[in-house]
Amino acid sequence: MEILNVEIKAKSTNQDKIRQLLHSNNAEYQGTDHQVDTYFKVPNGRLKLREGTIEHNLIHYQRDNQKGPKSSQIILYKSQPNTSLKELLTVANGVLTVIDKQREIYFIDNVKFHIDTVKHLGTFVEIEAIDTTGTIGKKQLQLQCEHYLRLFEIAPSDLIAVSYSDLLLEKKV
């Protein structure tokens, strides 16, 4: 399934305030997921296997590294836990890095929110405006992200241009 996604990732020290804003805007809480994302070495884009209790997917995406709203072309494959998929991908491609995080997941319509605590990196918030049908469009997705960016009072200096995998590799943990 190919998906158009516009997202914002930012450092966050005000998780409680963001939770309150989500609740006051009637966000649907999906739960807290312990996720382990294994990033594989690939020649184009990023390929990760997400192993969680709520979300379990193989995800390939192309995205430019830039602060603020950035669009991604995503191909998502819903995988089954405890299969040989991870072993197969590891043997075929090699592992680039592994991200271990606790993720609270919320939705307001087509916008998904993550409140993350990432091992070795800290606390973050992500806003993802998602178009699974091709009917919303990149411009509207970007406007949705910018709306929540303002609502959460995220400072430009807190915006992150890269993925958690890049941050961890830079840190060399």
Q: Exposure of 65 by Cβ count < 10 A (0-12 exposed, 13-18 middle, 19+ buried)?
A: exposed
Per-residue pLDDT, 81: 82
> Can you tell me the distance from the alpha carbon of 54 to that of 90, in angstroms, rounded to the nearest whole number?
23
Token pair for residue 140? 């509207």
1 in Cβ contact with 65 (< 8 Å) = no
For the cut 60, the answer to whether the pLDDT of residue 173 exceeds it is no
Domains and CATH numbers, the chain: 2-171 (2.40.320.10)
pLDDT band at 66 (very low <50, low <70, confident <90, very high): low
**Confidence tier at 172 by pLDDT (50, 70, 90):** low
Residue type at position 142: Q
Quote the pTM value.
Answer: 0.89
Neighbouring residues of 89: CB distance < 8 A, sequence distance ≥ 6: 38, 40, 47, 49, 58
Calculate mean pLDDT across residues 21-37.
Answer: 97
| Mean pLDDT computed over 126-130 | 94
